[in-house]
A and B are shown apart, each in its own frame.
Chain A
Amino acid sequence: MIRSVVLSTMLLVACALAQSAWFGGIAVLGVTPDLGLIVLIWLSYMNGLVAGPISGFLSGFAEDFLSASPLGFHAFIKTAVAAAASLLHGSFYIDKLLLPVILGFAGTIAKALAAGALFLLFGSKVHAYSLVERTIWIEAAYNGLLAPLAFLLLGPLRRLLATERRRG
């Protein structure tokens, strides 16, 4: 499991670096997709309650260094989303299109809710999404659309990243 956690964390940090350095060019109305979140959801769904949240926590921590957010902000959000996704571990079969879209969209909303919870606790010291502004909805739609492709590309890496072998 340690190898899986290390590789997953490295992949998530690489996603965060790619997002910060390259994704400005594919922004829609100034909003970029969160590839790291989609990958995290896939990893958490595959790996369950331990590996997913640990990878989410570590990569979120790295993201805090790249962002102006207070230390622990992204770590909390990514851990919370990973924990939520890992609760679905093994519950159903992930198809090629519909479920990835739903997971990408719902994961983004879960991220917004986690940020909202922190805003309630810490007030203006942290940022939160506004559900009446377009940013969160554009990001959720963007992540939803990107998720099927990301899940497809992650398939061949399953042997490296998944803690358990596929059954059945």
Chain B
Amino acid sequence: MVDQTPSAGTRGRSAVAPILLAASLLCLIVSTRSLEGVPESLGLSILGFFQRGFSDVGEFVSDTFASISELRRLRENYDELSAKLERYTNMERGLADLREENNRLKEQLGFSQDIAYQRIAARIVAKDPENLYSTITIDKGFGDGIRKNMPVIAFQDGIEGLVGRIVEVGAGTSKIVPIYDSMSFVASRLAGGSRTEGLVGGQGSPEYPLLMRFVKKQAKDEIQFGDLVATTGYESVYPSDVAVGRVKKVRVLDYQTSIDIELDPVLDFSRIEYVFVVKPPVADEGDSR
């Protein structure tokens, strides 16, 4: 006689997936209700260590290959540069005189080289492993003075542009949510004559334009293609007047009281390697890890 009822072992095996799915849902329920973020921070600290290791290995391999071709090119350049060196040595004396004169003129004009805010330089070591989220991971963490919600900027082609803000801090790495993430919102205004304000949000990928919403309809005639949009700094985590994007297209819908503006980010996110995390003024600094 054959017993056709499922054995306890079979039932047990079938129950594994539902149990794990339930455990996942439980985690989601807890984490979406804004638990303190401690488990995430702890996990990031541990896995961030390995993530940096992977990044370093990748960099080492690519650097090694690059070095081989670089070596050949350097040999050619060496001869060329030797010839140039003699010429530049003669120019050096003249340059020193010019530099001295330049410093004197700067002093007279009251030129200030003070930096508006303190920054922590960091290297991008990884991005989100999946396409649904758009996290950027940097190689600086809590020990380097990074705190949650600090704004992040970068320089590219001579422009200071907004990258995003810190959302999670680990011991040696931190996660940034970039401005093109669909959960990112930045209070911004047109930097031109109109100074019209709006809220810039992302559409989930650097391939899609940023969207500036809630812009007054009256401002539509003053907006020009290519106008710069910068942060307002009002009650915001972001400092003021940091470039966000340039006007690409204006969407005017009759039934809406405001207009939407599509923006091209000022930064090419695929080329950014280094960023600067902006520290808040000392008086306002609060530990919000």
Question: Does B258 belong to the interface (CB within 8 Å)?
Answer: no
CB contacts (< 8 Å) of B186 on chain A: these are none
Q: Do B128 and A50 touch (CB < 8 A)? A: no
User: Using a Cβ–Cβ cut-off of 8 Å, how many residues does chain A contribute to the interface with B?
Assistant: 57
- Residue of B24, B44, B182 touching A72 (CB-CB under 8 A): B24
A102-143: CB near B (< 8 Å → 1, else 0) gives: 000000000000010010011011111100000100010000
Chain A, interface SS category: helix
Question: Does A62 belong to the interface (CB within 8 Å)?
Answer: yes
The chain B residue with its CB closest to the CB of A87 is B17
Q: Do B32 and A36 touch (CB < 8 A)? A: no
CB contacts (< 8 Å) of A17 on chain B: these are 47, 50-51, 53-54, 126, 129
CB contacts (< 8 Å) of B21 on chain A: these are 76, 79-80, 83
CB contacts (< 8 Å) of B183 on chain A: these are 68, 124, 127
The chain B residue with its CB closest to the CB of A16 is B129
Q: Do A70 and B28 touch (CB < 8 A)? A: yes
- Residue of B54, B204, B205 touching A18 (CB-CB under 8 A): B54
Q: How far is the CB of A140 from chain B (nearest CB, A)?
A: 11
Q: Do A22 and B28 touch (CB < 8 A)? A: no
Q: Do B32 and A21 touch (CB < 8 A)? A: no
CB contacts (< 8 Å) of B53 on chain A: these are 17
The chain B residue with its CB closest to the CB of A18 is B54
A86-B17, A122-B32 given; A67·B133 CB < 8 A: yes
Task: Identify 14 residue pairs between A and B in the complex whose beta-carbon atoms are under 8 Å apart, listed by A's number.
Answer: A17-B126, A21-B125, A23-B129, A30-B206, A31-B131, A48-B13, A61-B27, A65-B46, A65-B47, A66-B126, A80-B21, A86-B17, A127-B132, A135-B131
- In addition to A65-B47, A68-B168, 13 A-B residue pairs with Cβ atoms within 8 Å of each other are A20-B51, A31-B131, A34-B131, A49-B16, A61-B27, A66-B47, A68-B128, A69-B130, A70-B28, A71-B43, A72-B25, A83-B21, A125-B32
Report, nearest first, the 6 A-B pairs whose CB atoms are least far apart: A72-B27, A65-B43, A76-B24, A83-B17, A72-B28, A21-B54
